[in-house]
Amino acid sequence: MRYFNYLTEEERKALFFIEPAHFRRNDDKEFISHALGATLYMPANKEKIAEDIILKKNKGLISVVLCLEDAISDCEADNAEHQLAVHLRELYSAVRHGKIQDDDLPFIFIRVRHPEQILKVTALAGDARSVLAGFVFPKFSYHNGRDYFEVLKKISYVSDKQFYGMPILETPDIIHWETRKASLSSVTEILDEYYEWVLNVRIGATDLSSIFGIRRGYDVTVYDIQVIRDCMTDIINNFCRTDRQYVVSGPVWEYFLSGDRVLKPMLRITPFQERYGEAGREIRSKLLNQYLDGLIYETLLDKANGLVGKTVIHPSHIIPVQSMYVVNHEEYTDACSILDNDGKAGVMKSIFNNKMNEIKPHKNWAKKILIRSGIYGVFNSSYEFINLLR
């Protein structure tokens, strides 16, 4: 598996100072927790899921969640479980017969409705459960958290395979101010207890918004919804401290076509036009028509707030999100300089003559930059995310 593996060797050499690394689905948890990128959600009963994965229909796909919860109506739940098992068996057969290499499969997760459903779907899938990376736990709280992880441990031992859990924080007790602190403390206690099984912590901004009857529009990010922003701030404060080492991912962006705009587009025309001329204007227009400028801006804010990766609901979101996680050359150079001078200097001017690099305060930032650079790569000095959107 490799980010941007659809590029030719010539294109990669032109774009990257350091190319994205190859990695495997069974690599170290601390590595792959940063490597999920744009995680594509889709209903588990969607047709041709296995075929699309085998044929690599969704360019750049690294991780996918097959949803049995909110994406499936109650009356379709049993049918969706059986259809999901069919998809998994098709993928398992394709690997066994060489139609696709095991390492070319994306990380595949199932979003279940409750802990017992994990046992049911893995029993239906049989040996084909081996293609799974793990499960997503919706409405995760101190009431059900241990039940989820105990079932996860059970099927891991039975299958002789490490499955991971990704809890979603989206319940009223997490966002109501009077219960939030206690709830986050209780959830953290559970996650600390089962740390080796926790891959990501995910934020369910849609469900949290629904508690207040809110839905963000085309022209705002989740950070503009103040009650959600405040809750996310506390989640980040709780889980993203350097001494805790949890990876928290960005919430879903739910638009894939533009509506009537009220505010100006959030992508300047200059970088596109300077790089590609008229073709650059067309690239920008396409992004605006699909309302991907809002997605790009929200992903920028995710990164600024320490979140890694993002939930997406449309294949057109994959490349824009993942292009934003490539490290630019200036970031990489500064990070290397900070770590190379650890213990040798207190502060020094960046070689770009535009900032000061303070060794101790910026050390943790620099370490995270190097983790990202090993997964998503580092752009050459004259390239940026725009170059991957063509």
Per-domain residue ranges for the chain? 1-20+326-390, 26-256+291-325
Sequence-distant (≥ 6) Cβ neighbours of residue 10 within 8 angstroms: none
Give yes or no for residue 246 having a pLDDT over 70. yes
pLDDT digits (tens, 9 = 90+) for 227-244: 999 999 999 999 999 888
Give yes or no for residue 273 having a pLDDT over 70. no
pLDDT of residue 302: 97
Residue 78 labelled as part of a binding site: no
pLDDT band at 260, cuts 50/70/90? low
pLDDT digits (tens, 9 = 90+) for 200-231: 999 999 999 999 999 987 778 999 999 999 99
Closest CA to 231 of 244, 256, 214, 255: 214
Give yes or no for residue 171 having a pLDDT over 90. yes
Q: What is the mean pLDDT of the chain?
A: 90
With contact defined as beta carbons under 8 Å apart, do 204 and 168 qualify?
Answer: yes
Backbone φ and ψ for 306, nearest 5 degrees, come out as 90, 10
For residues 249 and 352, which has the higher predicted lDDT (pLDDT)?
249
For residues 361 and 292, which has the higher predicted lDDT (pLDDT)?
361
pLDDT of residue 217: 79
Residue with tokens 């409750």: 114
Sequence-distant (≥ 6) Cβ neighbours of residue 334 within 8 angstroms: 350, 352, 355, 357, 362, 366, 369
Give yes or no for residue 150 having a pLDDT over 80. yes
With contact defined as beta carbons under 8 Å apart, do 269 and 281 qualify?
Answer: yes
What is the average per-residue pLDDT within 43-47?
A: 94
Distance of alpha carbon 140 from alpha carbon 111, whole angstroms? 12
Spelled out in words, what is the top-level CATH class assigned to the domain 26-256+291-325? alpha beta
With contact defined as beta carbons under 8 Å apart, do 324 and 299 qualify?
Answer: yes
pLDDT of residue 261: 52
Reported pTM: 0.91
Residue 331 labelled as part of a binding site: no
Give yes or no for residue 101 having a pLDDT over 70. yes
User: HSE of 5 in the Cβ direction (CA atoms, 13 Å)?
Assistant: 16
pLDDT of residue 297: 86
With contact defined as beta carbons under 8 Å apart, do 259 and 218 qualify?
Answer: yes
What is the average per-residue pLDDT within 42-63?
A: 95
With contact defined as beta carbons under 8 Å apart, do 42 and 65 qualify?
Answer: yes
With contact defined as beta carbons under 8 Å apart, do 257 and 289 qualify?
Answer: yes
Give yes or no for residue 166 having a pLDDT over 90. yes
Which tokens hold the place of 116? 């017992």
Give yes or no for residue 352 having a pLDDT over 90. no
What is the average per-residue pLDDT within 76-97?
A: 96
